[in-house]
A and B are shown apart, each in its own frame.
Chain A
Amino acid sequence: MSRKYLATPYIIWIVGFTLLPLVSIAVSAFTGDDGSYTWDNILAIAEPINRQALLFSLAIAFGCTLLCILLAYPAALILKSLRLGRKGFTIFLLVLPMWMNFILRILAWQMILSKNGILNFIVGKFGGAPLAIGNTWIALMIGMVYDFLPYMILPIFNAISDIDEDIIEAARDLGAGGMAVFCKIIFPLSMPGMLSGIVMVFVPAMTSFVIADILGGGKLQLIGNIIEQEFMKSMDWHLGAGLSISLMLLVLIGLAFTMRNDLEEKGTSIW
């Protein structure tokens, strides 16, 4: 009985920092400037400018997630094949950049990609024409993939590590080649990890605005940038809250759809 009290700090945490903010955002979202009840702020997501930003965010988040999977999967396979000591060290190296504030790392990318930056210096040394990557969507994509990649590698690696060697050996005994083992055993069994990775990459990529501001030079407008503007510059908290709620709902619906099949399986999924 008394053990239940141990949960108190977490209950306070959840109520104070998750539920209350959500409620206050919802209240702002469903009221207008004059305090009356309205759906306008929620539906504002369908206005041309907001819709355009939403679609652009979707495209960027989709591309970022796909690139992360393509980069993370081989990395996880390589990690699995390493000996124990090296494995730990390699994972440490992968996680190490996350010890530094991400805005600093994004600012570093800005220096690398800018017109007189490090990349163009190197390209110039080899006699190439300077690349104009800075302040474009390509720079945004590079920054996002760089930032979110560890969140894809680690869950996939965990899932793959959990696969019982005996199953793979059994498959080989029964005559499966490397390709068949991968397609029929490793890939399906790593799905839960990949789904976690997708959640951890897609959602932040969809909602971020800082990376777009820094690497996009203020010329790219994600839905996150619009929400930020409503809150910080236009001081229209009602509209900002309404857009946030719509975005949250869209992401939830999307995830529920993706995760539907995953629920029956045991998994390392965070859902």
Chain B
Amino acid sequence: MREKICAAALALSGVFALGGCGKAEPEEYLTVFNYGEYMDPDVIDRFTEETGIGIKYEEALTPEELYAKYSSGAIDYDLVCSADYMIQRLIEEGEAQKVDFSSMEYAGNIGDRFWEFSKAFDPDNEYALPYFYGTIGILYDTTKVDAPIDSWGVLFDGSYKNDIIMQNSQRDTFMITLKYLGYSLNTSDEGELREAQELLIRQKPDVQAYLVDEARDEVVAGNAAMAVVYSGEAYLGHEYNEDLAYVVPKEGSNVWIDSWIVTRHCKNPEAAAKFLDFLCREDVAEKNFEYIYYSTPNEAVVENMDEALRNDPAITPTEEDMANCEVCTQTDPEVTKLYNELWKELKAD
């Protein structure tokens, strides 16, 4: 999902250092590393205008690419934004610097529950600032189902044979099944994983296809009644077709959070903190939200949102939706190996 949006940004990618447009060149600079198209360019201009601190903006397409560029050491980045599991890796490798969020003026705009979720990869909320988040759920065509969907069960009970699109990604697909069975999506218990695999093998004949990017399109085109998708995709989905609905099933799901960290290379933590605080300010966060349309953890923005957006579970999941959601953390190498085996066995069946 993010890849797609990033792809559009390919043409724009690269470095663009934004000066103070006609004013004196800034003396201080921050090097910011983010995904493509993941921040409104006006926001960067405004920050330089207000603070006199220049921004050197660098982009990557995927967390893996971002990590590769970061660890090559060619550029000393001051601030990095990435996916939860990559932030976890960077923190574990000692690449992050502690930030005092309590002294920030606007960090309070970030809802408490997001700080709670962040604890999965940043146990004491010392490093990571939530930026955008989203869920995984079911996008379905309301004209093709008998009743509103509220459970992962519809994917497994055989009532929509050959009308289901699953994610062609082992972690996401196992996550759904583990949640449906009532286990944690971060389980490393072989028995639980095998039970999930058994259910997936039994489900396979009912699955029309395992897709990634096209999953949403198949529901939009009416080829399938439902698909497992990321919430950002779902929002774009009902832009195309009003009959589509998105639900985060009651058994819970995966919530992903993209967060900011200040790296150990940053020589000006004060300026970095200023930048993070700036991102939390309501008008700035709103501008970014209107540029990206992912779920924002900034509650001041959510309060002033259009009602339609605020009631859209793809944009604003309710407390209830999120109650059973978990953040995915990195698995041990052995568990990863087991996942790979189980996935191949599923595909071979």
* A residues apposed to B, CB below 8 Å: 49, 52-53, 114-117, 132, 134-135, 213, 217-219, 221, 225-226, 229-230, 233-234, 236
Contacts and interface: CB of A to CB of B under 8 A. Distances in A.
Given A229-B344, A234-B336, 10 more contacts: A49-B345, A134-B209, A134-B223, A135-B209, A217-B208, A218-B209, A219-B204, A221-B344, A221-B347, A236-B340
B152 interface: no
8 contacts: A114-B218, A114-B221, A116-B222, A219-B210, A221-B347, A221-B348, A225-B347, A233-B343
B314 to A, nearest CB: 24
B348 A52 contact: yes
A55 to B, nearest CB: 11
B223 A114 contact: yes
Interface in B206-248: 207-211, 218, 221-224
Contact of B162 (A116, A132, A218, A230): A132
A117 B224 CA distance: 12
Interface size range on B against A: 20 to 34
Given A115-B223, A135-B208, A234-B336, A218 B168 contact: yes
Given A217-B209, A219-B209, A115 B224 contact: yes
A230 B337 CA distance: 10
Contacts of B223: 114-117, 134
A91 to B, nearest CB: 34
Contacts of B337: 234
A219 B207 CA distance: 9
Contacts of B224: 115
Given A53-B348, A115-B223, A233 B207 contact: no
Nearest to A235: B336
Tell me if A's interface is mostly helix, strand, loop or mixed: loop
B331 interface: no
Contacts of A217: 207-211
Contact of B343 (A116, A229, A236): A229
A227 to B, nearest CB: 11
Contacts of B345: 49
Nearest to A226: B344
A225 B344 CA distance: 10
Contacts of B218: 114
A236 B162 CA distance: 33
A53 B347 CA distance: 10
B170 interface: yes
Contacts of B221: 114, 116
Nearest to A214: B214
Nearest to A132: B162
A166 to B, nearest CB: 56
A229 B340 contact: yes
A52 B99 CA distance: 53
Of the listed residues B170, B208, B222, the one surrounded by the most CB atoms of chain A closer than 10 A to its CB is B208
Contacts of B340: 229-230, 233-234, 236
A134 B218 CA distance: 12
A132 B206 CA distance: 13
Contacts of A236: 340
A115 B15 CA distance: 44
